[in-house]
């Protein structure tokens, strides 16, 4: 017969105020198999834990139930106490008498009876508990960082500087991301590229960082400490080991009218190209969709130009496999295009721009060398209108959230415009000014007070073009809804920041959860902001939600520390809450019949095929086996198995059955 110890906590008065804890201890004490039952003011305190340890030794307990707060709070505490007393920690369970009972019910007979039932339930469970051993897995001390924007750059450098190897992959031909496209940064107005480029170079030169540009993650298998990443190295068509980056091929390429991604469509580039002058690596790739040779089979001018023979026409995509112990997701964000807005012309007006396009106009490296000029006719706009919350905070457009960065960059845009166009008139239509951040509010006030930017509180109903002007139909809600009509030369929409395209597919590859807008989900909104729900995968930057540069860099460093902490261990200890397929003596071997329906049900590909072979090596049967490294313990397979051949440790069929029965049998 079992010898179970039951310990009922008063939690000060949190439990005892509505539950008659003495009666609970008394009645449970009379239960079959219960050797010892007491109540105490604070079970989690040192003396409380000592009671448990002493009882384990004194009564030779083979199971412990603590009736206290939620196991999500103190289960580790009490299990540790049991372990210290020599009892297998997994033979200790908690009945949730506080969150699920005393706090949610009034003081009454029923409340005490419910408490008794809850403890009984756990006593019945403990009777079926088996000692379990934690699972130990080795750690591969190499990190994979996905995305080479400022988040990925920062995370890579920080991890590399702790002495660990980093593999950084970037989808585009160069690292740098959105930050490299920005003109100047708020609230200091320092030049974005000036502060970013040194870091980009540092990444390229760091001995601990292996950089793959023009590369994408193909698949990720495995689990924390032991991932296997398959990476697709897209064919660059240029041999980087011989290419000197002289740029002669780019000069000669006849396909010159391709809209430049780096310039947000405002400039053009060639088919063999380096995205921007400061690119890292500063070597070209051939865009095969637009290249004459790949389209029509003739041209090859670049090959003739190249002095070192670096063009590789027949190069194919290559897939490499890297073993890593942790992954940092830093894939960034995107902004909505102007074509997203019916009321602002469906993108048909050339002088209606997104904020990102305005950045390129304002940037010294941009298509106009930093002069604000209209894309339509190259003239300098005398009147400019900025529309904040374009798409953001707009449930009807499917984006109810605030994109967070627009208030600040719109103020910056207006300020830059005023600095660059003397005598120009700028108007900002806004709903609220969200300038929470160090020196942010001061920055916005400066735009209004010193740079005379006209801030009008109201949204713009529509924009249309007439006689070369953009007619902006706005409103001033602070004047009771008075209409404001502006004949502008240029309109800049602070379009919503959205998840990067392909983020949903990437999340599915990684088994990372994501929110309804396809931003990756953090494990806890407050206490685990850089972790994901998948152990060993961390988040950095705007792939989690739109955020500005300081916040992104902070988050990236946070993720790097999490990776470094993980790498400080040689092996990881995991809870043994995993599924197990039963094994029996021959000739049965297992009750598993090998239908492998569990294989399709498993979200983690943890079900493996095990071949049972006879002495002569002939195959007797193929049955399922759970890879305990991959298994995360959801138990979906358990409920699915027809012959009950799989069970999950910690929540076995016997345990849950006993719990349910105990609640109903009285």
- Binding to another protein in span 533-592, by CB under 8 A: 533, 577, 588, 591
Which secondary-structure segment (H or E) carries 466? strand 462-466
Using CB atoms within 10 A of its CB, is residue 469 exposed (0-12), middle (13-18) or buried (19+)?
middle
Q: Rule CB under 8 A: is residue 46 a binding residue for another protein?
A: no
Q: Which is nearer to another protein, 323 or 343 (CB)?
A: 343
Q: Rule CB under 8 A: is residue 343 a binding residue for another protein?
A: yes
Q: Take residue 550 and report the two structure tokens written for it.
A: 């300081």
Find the radius of gyration of the CA atoms of the chain: 32
- In the region spanning residues 513 to 532, those forming contacts with another protein, defined by CB under 8 A, are 513-516, 521
Of these, 461, 501, 565, 573, which contacts another protein (CB under 8 A)? 461
Q: Which is nearer to another protein, 155 or 512 (CB)?
A: 512
Q: Rule CB under 8 A: is residue 313 a binding residue for another protein?
A: no
Q: Which is nearer to another protein, 116 or 415 (CB)?
A: 116
Nearest CA-CA partner of 212 in 242, 164, 172: 172
- Residue 641 CB, shortest distance to another protein, in Å, is 9
Nearest CA-CA partner of 278 in 405, 371, 152, 191: 191
Of these, 76, 342, 436, 468, which contacts another protein (CB under 8 A)? 342
- In the region spanning residues 256 to 295, those forming contacts with another protein, defined by CB under 8 A, are none
Q: Rule CB under 8 A: is residue 111 a binding residue for another protein?
A: yes
Q: Rule CB under 8 A: is residue 107 a binding residue for another protein?
A: no
Which one-letter DSSP state was computed for residue 370? T
- Residue 19 CB, shortest distance to another protein, in Å, is 11
Our measurement of the distance from residue 24's CA atom to the centroid of its chain's CA atoms, rounded to an integer in Å, reads 45
Q: Rule CB under 8 A: is residue 298 a binding residue for another protein?
A: no
**Residues composing the chain:** 666
Of these, 104, 194, 201, 501, which contacts another protein (CB under 8 A)? 104
- Residue 443 CB, shortest distance to another protein, in Å, is 23
The alpha helices in 405-542, defined as continuous H runs, are: 406-420, 440-449, 503-510
- Measure the CA–CA gap between 286 and 234, rounded to whole angstroms: 11
Binding segment (CB under 8 A) for another protein, from list 29-37, 39-47, 109-117, 490-498: 109-117
Q: Rule CB under 8 A: is residue 222 a binding residue for another protein?
A: no
Of these, 194, 346, 369, 565, which contacts another protein (CB under 8 A)? 346
Q: Rule CB under 8 A: is residue 76 a binding residue for another protein?
A: no
Q: Which is nearer to another protein, 475 or 499 (CB)?
A: 475
- In the region spanning residues 625 to 664, those forming contacts with another protein, defined by CB under 8 A, are 632-636, 638-640, 642-645, 648, 650-651, 653-654, 656-661, 663-664
- Cis ω before 56 (30° cut-off from 0): no
Q: Rule CB under 8 A: is residue 106 a binding residue for another protein?
A: yes
- In the region spanning residues 118 to 157, those forming contacts with another protein, defined by CB under 8 A, are 118, 121
Q: Which residue has the tokens 């602002």?
A: 344
- Residue 465 CB, shortest distance to another protein, in Å, is 7
Torsion over CA: 249, 251, 255, 260 (sign): positive
Q: Rule CB under 8 A: is residue 465 a binding residue for another protein?
A: yes
Q: Per-residue DSSP letters for 167-223?
A: EEE-SSSSS-TGGGG-SEETTTTEEHHHHHHHHHHHHHH-TTEEEE-SEEEEEEEEE
SS3 (DSSP) at 99: helix
- In the region spanning residues 590 to 629, those forming contacts with another protein, defined by CB under 8 A, are 591, 593-601, 603-604, 622
Which one-letter DSSP state was computed for residue 340? G
Q: Which is nearer to another protein, 210 or 473 (CB)?
A: 473
Of these, 303, 312, 394, 441, which contacts another protein (CB under 8 A)? 394
Q: Per-residue DSSP letters for 252-282?
A: H-S---EEPTTTTTSSEE-SEE-SSTT-SS-
- Measure the CA–CA gap between 173 and 204, rounded to whole angstroms: 13
Q: How far is CA 431 from CA 96, 254, 460, 504, in A?
A: 46, 47, 10, 30
Q: Rule CB under 8 A: is residue 348 a binding residue for another protein?
A: yes
Of these, 284, 345, 375, 541, which contacts another protein (CB under 8 A)? 345
Q: Which is nearer to another protein, 161 or 533 (CB)?
A: 533
């Amino acid at each position: 017969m079992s010898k179970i110890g039951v310990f009922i906590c008063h939690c000060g008065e949190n439990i005892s105020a509505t539950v008659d804890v003495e009666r609970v201890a008394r009645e449970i004490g009379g239960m079959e198999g219960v050797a010892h039952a007491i109540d105490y003011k604070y079970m989690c305190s040192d003396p409380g834990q000592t009671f448990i340890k002493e009882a384990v030794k004194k009564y030779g307990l083979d199971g412990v139930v603590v009736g206290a707060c939620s196991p999500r709070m103190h289960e580790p505490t009490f299990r540790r106490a049991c372990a210290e007393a020599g009892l297998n920690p997994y033979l200790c369970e908690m009945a949730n008498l506080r969150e699920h009972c005393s706090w949610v019910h009034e003081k009454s007979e029923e409340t005490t009876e419910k408490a008794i039932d809850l403890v009984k339930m756990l006593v019945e469970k403990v009777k079926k508990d088996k000692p379990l051993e934690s699972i130990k897995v080795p750690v591969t001390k190499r990190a994979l960082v996905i995305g080479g924007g400022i988040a990925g750059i920062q995370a890579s450098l920080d991890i590399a500087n702790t002495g660990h190897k980093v593999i950084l992959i970037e989808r585009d031909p160069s690292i740098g991301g959105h930050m490299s496209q920005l003109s100047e940064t708020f609230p200091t107005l320092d030049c974005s590229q000036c502060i970013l480029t040194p870091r980009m170079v540092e990444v390229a030169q760091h001995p601990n960082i292996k950089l793959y540009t023009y590369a994408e993650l193909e698949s990720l298998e495995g689990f924390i400490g032991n991932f296997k990443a398959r990476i697709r190295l897209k064919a660059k068509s240029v041999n980087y080991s011989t290419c000197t980056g002289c740029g002669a091929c780019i000069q000669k390429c006849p396909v010159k009218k391709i809209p430049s991604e780096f310039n947000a469509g405002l400039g053009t580039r060639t088919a063999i190209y380096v995205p921007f002058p400061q690119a890292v690596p500063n070597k070209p790739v051939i865009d095969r969709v637009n290249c004459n040779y790949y389209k029509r089979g003739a041209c090859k001018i670049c090959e003739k130009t190249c002095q070192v023979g670096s063009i590789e026409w027949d190069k194919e995509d290559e897939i490499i496999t890297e073993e890593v112990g942790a992954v940092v997701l830093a894939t960034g964000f995107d902004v909505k295009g102007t074509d997203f807005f019916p009321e602002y012309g469906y993108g048909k007006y050339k002088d209606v721009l997104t904020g990102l396009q305005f950045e390129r106009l304002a940037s010294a490296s941009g298509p106009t060398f930093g002069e604000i000029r209209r894309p339509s006719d190259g003239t300098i706009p005398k009147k400019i209108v900025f529309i904040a919350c374009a798409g953001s905070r707009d449930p009807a457009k499917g984006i109810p959230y605030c994109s967070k960065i627009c208030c600040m960059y719109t103020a910056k845009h207006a300020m830059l415009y005023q600095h660059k166009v003397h005598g120009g008139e700028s108007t900002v239509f806004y709903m609220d000014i969200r300038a929470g951040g160090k020196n942010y509010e001061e920055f916005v006030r400066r735009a209004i007070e010193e740079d005379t930017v006209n801030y009008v509180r109201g949204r713009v109903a529509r924009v249309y073009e007439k006689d070369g002007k953009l007619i902006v139909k706005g409103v001033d809600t602070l004047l009771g809804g008075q209409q404001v009509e502006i004949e502008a030369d240029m309109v800049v929409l602070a379009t919503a920041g959205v998840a990067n395209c392909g983020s949903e597919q990437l999340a599915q590859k990684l088994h990372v959860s994501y929110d309804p807008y396809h931003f990756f989900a953090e494990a806890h909104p407050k206490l685990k902001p850089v972790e994901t729900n998948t152990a060993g995968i961390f988040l950095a930057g705007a792939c989690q939600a739109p955020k500005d540069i300081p916040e992104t860099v902070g988050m990236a460093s946070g993720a790097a520390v999490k990776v470094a902490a993980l790498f400080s261990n040689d092996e990881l200890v995991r809870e043994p809450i995993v599924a197990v397929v039963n094994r029996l003596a021959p000739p049965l071997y297992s009750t598993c019949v090998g239908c492998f329906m569990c294989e399709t049900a498993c979200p983690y590909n943890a079900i493996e095929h095990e071949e049972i072979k006879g002495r002569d090596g002939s195959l007797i049967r193929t049955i399922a086996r759970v890879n305990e490294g991959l298994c995360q313990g959801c138990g979906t397979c358990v409920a699915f198995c027809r012959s009950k051949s799989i069970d999950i440790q910690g929540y076995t069929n016997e345990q849950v059955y006993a719990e349910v029965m105990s609640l109903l049998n009285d």
